Structure 1
Amino acid sequence: MNYSPKFPVKWVKFMVMILSIVSTGIAAGWTDIPRLSPTRGIIMEDPDLLSSAAVSDDLQTCYYPQTLDHFNYQPQSYGTFQQRYVMNFKYWGGANNSAPILAYLGAESPLNVSLTAIGFLNDSAVSFNALLVYIEHRYYGKSIPFGSREEAFKNASTLGYFNSAQAIADYAEIIMHIKSKLRAFYSPVIVVGGSYGGMLASWLRLKYPHVALGALASSAPILYFDKITPSGAYYSVVTKDFREASESCYQTIRNSWSVIDKIASQPNGLSTLSMIFNTCKPLTKSSELKIALKNMYALAAQYNSPPRYPVTVICRGIDGANETQDILSKIFAGVVAYGNLSCYINQQTNESETTEGWRWQTCSEMVIPIGIGNGTMFQPAPFNLTSFIQHCKTIFGVLPRPHWVTSYYGYKTYSPEIW
């Protein structure tokens, strides 16, 4: 049977809206490539927001027996695991009306986070009578191969099935399964994702054009590989955000790093810094403090959205400090404004599955060379590929493939410097 897509005129309007959306995405990190989740800022700034949010009764949780390895015919490749996806039929116009399907592609976090944090999908579903589908990324949440998280993350052999190519094949298979099950052969599919999820959306549309009519890839740094995008572009945007919020705040941050270095070089300097910043445990080196501050600024810029506008919050704290206070006391006032805690900088935290999973992804294929160039409010810190490769080899015993993404998915222009 020929299933040529047929859809109403108002769906064309949605495609036009997608093409008009422009978004800039940034992330934070120093030695590790930063996470790119569209929901991390909500979790970091208000952890109770998501945990207390009621999951709609309209959501139906399903599991699909997903193929372990889509690209190999060895016997072990035919193994399966239960991959979670969730559907919301509340607004769907039905298969008989060729009503559209919006498929949210889960990024590097459990699916339950996205269900309560991504409002764009619900708004669009109302306007276009769309079926909402949320699909969890393999190795996150409840979509764990090999029976348990412990087995799945056991070593590089079990983690070897954990990559973007397998993930988008998962999504394609589930989407086709849903369309077949619902007999929604003429319902156009738009895949949606933010940051890393946006990269997956664009790549799925590229690799599986018969599955998705279009992709909305918000804040997706698909060209931040090799030397296509300048390495320091990310922190230039962070700096721009703070400078636009407050010139004096920007200058204070920019001047603070040398003061930290000066104090750290003095006898008992680390104790002094620990006291100034009310650290949860004594600093053992000044880089602990500088990395924490840099990550805070970058995270604030990445999620500088209403109603809180965290960049403005930090700058108000810094600018609002007593003028007679020293520069680091002003910086600490910004830290407190960002999150009023009992102690700061080096809190004891348990490594989440998201952190562990993203570390593997960046040490295998997601080698995004984010560094810090000159002319920002930070101290220069170029991305060092040699050190990064050695770091990953130490952790996982495997070497990253920094050119794989551009080889497999392509890139905008050819630059001989890439190779």
Structure 2
Amino acid sequence: MAFSLAGLVFCSGLCFSSAFLSSRRYRNPVPLFPSVDEHWFDQKLDHFNGAESRVWKQRFFINDTFYDGGPVFLMIGGEGPANPAWMVSGTWLRYAEKLKALCLLLEHRFYGKSHPTEDMRTANLQYLSSKQALADLAHFQTVMTQKLKLSHSKWVAFGGSYPGSLATWYRLKYPHLIYAAVATSAPVYALINFTEYLEVVQTSLADYNSECPKAVKSASDTLVMMLKKKENYVKITEDFKLCEILQINSEMDSAYFLETLAGNFMDVVQYNNDNRAFEGVKGTNITIQVLCEIMADVSLGTPYDRYAAVAHLMMDALEMKCMDTSYKKYVQEMTSATWEGPAAVGGRQWVYQTCTEFGFFQSTDSTNQPFSGFSLSYFVQQCTDIYGPEFNFTRIVNAVGQTNEMYGGFNIQSSRIVFSNGCVDPWHALGIIKDLSEELPAVYIKGTAHCANMYPARADDPPQLAAARLYILSLLEKWIN
């Protein structure tokens, strides 16, 4: 069944790989060219100020291939460009085929091509929040229901990671609009000092090889000691293929360098053995097994040498000639407020949301993890350095508390939401991994990582992942029918 979108502006154009799933570090996306048209929706700038009349163009995608009077599936965009690859692949489309659903994907305000303001000055970022994003969904659904004559259709929200949280909160705050939600790898509890993230990284590495995190810790501790002497900077620069001679003039410089190297392990663990290649993501063949085999290979030298070997492997996989570890340059990029800026793909926006809503700062303030050198104060200082002195510790603590007051944290009172998480994924520590009630079931998938059940199925998927997908489908069939 095809729809007429008369009155909605649409065009075909260049589309980019999405940072659709929350990630620690933003990299330039890979262009993708699926044959999916862009559409544009007149969205309100501020849903909570009746005197504000400004509107802007919000991007969305539509797939009506399977639609024959079934439900409406609404995929929620997240902290990066909405990737049209999701309109041609992904588990939700298999559900749509079974249930004859219409599929819509709405890009999150301030990400991708959805630009509510002329730039991203800090004053304009006041309109970037989960609260505004949920209201965007509600207004979009209300207008599209009328325009496409969907008043008798049940709407189901889908999201992974931060968008999974949004899917949860959309069902929670707008139950009169959204009938059910599938929340994958959703961190529903805001937490300023997310030490559990690196603790899960250690557990996930140790589950493959108990010596692996020990070698990582040895290498990290060695680097901390080496950074105390300037005569080591040239060697470190050469060993890790840095883009310029290492300069450590402050604790922020040291912490940024150490966090960047730790990020090689954090990113691989978070997305271990995923099936993201369809999104245009590079380096999906690098797994925990690959990293731990390097860290256990004594023929490569000391743990420090093996740590450098991992850095080289990751640079090759990501097609990087060198590693940029300059905190000063990072701050300069993050403070650029133009839509063409180096951090406009999502970095400036997402860090703003962490500083004003969620925290989620993945520090080394726990002894049960293998890295060193980037404490909570390092992340708080970033908020101040990038957005201004008023973004201080007290403000962040208050903001995180308000987020949990608004949404309930782990104490979710709702129905028809299914939560799925992988045990390898560090984000499961802030998610729902046990049934809250019969109508708030949880799926905790052994051996899988971030948003694994959302990706296209493949022949070598573990049986527990295939079973999780089928279970979620059975819930949707029961709820909708």
Q: Which category of TM-score, normalised to the shorter sequence, fits these structures?
A: 0.7 to 0.9
Seen in structure 2, the aligned counterparts of structure 1 residues 295 and 55 have a Cα distance that, compared at 3 Å, is same
Tell me, in whole angstroms, the C-alpha distance in 2 between the residues paired with 1:72 and 1:267. 54
Q: Which residue of 1 aligns with 2:272?
A: 304
Q: Which residue of 2 aligns with 1:383?
A: 376
Q: Which residue of 1 aligns with 2:33?
A: 54
Tell me, in whole angstroms, the C-alpha distance in 2 between the residues paired with 1:296 and 1:371. 15
For the residue of structure 2 that corresponds to 1:343, the secondary structure is coil
Superposed displacement of residue 314, structure 1: 1.7
Match of 2:353 among 351, 361, 367: 361
CA deviations on 1:3-57 (whole Å, 9 max, x unpaired) are: xxxxxxxxxxxxxxxxxxxxxxxxxxxxxxxx9842759985x954xx2x4313x
Given that 2:156 and 2:179 are in contact with CA atoms closer than 8 Å, whether structure 1 keeps it comes out as yes
Match of 1:71 among 48, 58, 68: 48
For the residue of structure 1 that corresponds to 2:34, the secondary structure is coil
Q: Which residue of 1 aligns with 2:457?
A: none
Q: Which residue of 2 aligns with 1:318?
A: 295
Superposed displacement of residue 299, structure 1: 0.9
Q: Which residue of 2 aligns with 1:19?
A: none
Tell me, in whole angstroms, the C-alpha distance in 2 between the residues paired with 1:332 and 1:164. 38
Superposed displacement of residue 380, structure 1: 7.0
1:173 aligns with 2:139: yes
Seen in structure 2, the aligned counterparts of structure 1 residues 388 and 378 have a Cα distance that, compared at 3 Å, is closer
Tell me, in whole angstroms, the C-alpha distance in 1 between the residues paired with 2:177 and 2:164. 16
CA deviations on 1:70-129 (whole Å, 9 max, x unpaired) are: 11122xx111111111110011113xxxx0111011001111366369612222222221
Equivalent residue pairs, number: 357
Seen in structure 2, the aligned counterparts of structure 1 residues 116 and 255 have a Cα distance that, compared at 3 Å, is farther
Q: Which residue of 1 aligns with 2:3?
A: none
Which shows bigger deviation, 118-127 or 401-410?
118-127
Given that 2:190 and 2:358 are in contact with CA atoms closer than 8 Å, whether structure 1 keeps it comes out as no
Superposed displacement of residue 163, structure 1: 0.9
Which shows bigger deviation, 182-191 or 243-252?
243-252
Superposed displacement of residue 268, structure 1: 1.0
**Could you tell me the TM-score, scaled by structure 1's length?**
0.77
Percentage identity across aligned positions?
A: 25
Match of 1:343 among 317, 322, 326: 322
Q: Which residue of 2 aligns with 1:254?
A: 217
CA deviations on 1:346-370 (whole Å, 9 max, x unpaired) are: 3888323301111221222222354
CA deviations on 1:366-402 (whole Å, 9 max, x unpaired) are: 2235433112112375534xx7556534533444422
Q: Which residue of 1 aligns with 2:226?
A: 263
Amino acid in the other structure paired with 1:311: I
Match of 1:410 among 388, 393, 408: 408
Seen in structure 2, the aligned counterparts of structure 1 residues 334 and 194 have a Cα distance that, compared at 3 Å, is same
**Which consecutive residues of structure 2, in runs of 5 or more, have no partner in the other structure?**
1-17, 249-253, 276-284, 334-341, 413-481
For the residue of structure 2 that corresponds to 1:191, the secondary structure is strand
For the residue of structure 2 that corresponds to 1:368, the secondary structure is strand
Given that 1:315 and 1:334 are in contact with CA atoms closer than 8 Å, whether structure 2 keeps it comes out as no
Runs of 4+ in 1 over 6 A off after TM superposition: none
**Could you tell me the TM-score, scaled by structure 2's length?**
0.67
Amino acid in the other structure paired with 1:89: D
Seen in structure 2, the aligned counterparts of structure 1 residues 223 and 42 have a Cα distance that, compared at 3 Å, is closer
Superposed displacement of residue 316, structure 1: 2.5
Tell me, in whole angstroms, the C-alpha distance in 1 between the residues paired with 2:21 and 2:376. 24
Q: Which residue of 2 aligns with 1:155?
A: 122
1:395 aligns with 2:386: yes
Amino acid in the other structure paired with 1:84: R
Tell me, in whole angstroms, the C-alpha distance in 2 between the residues paired with 1:353 and 1:284. 27
Given that 1:36 and 1:195 are in contact with CA atoms closer than 8 Å, whether structure 2 keeps it comes out as no
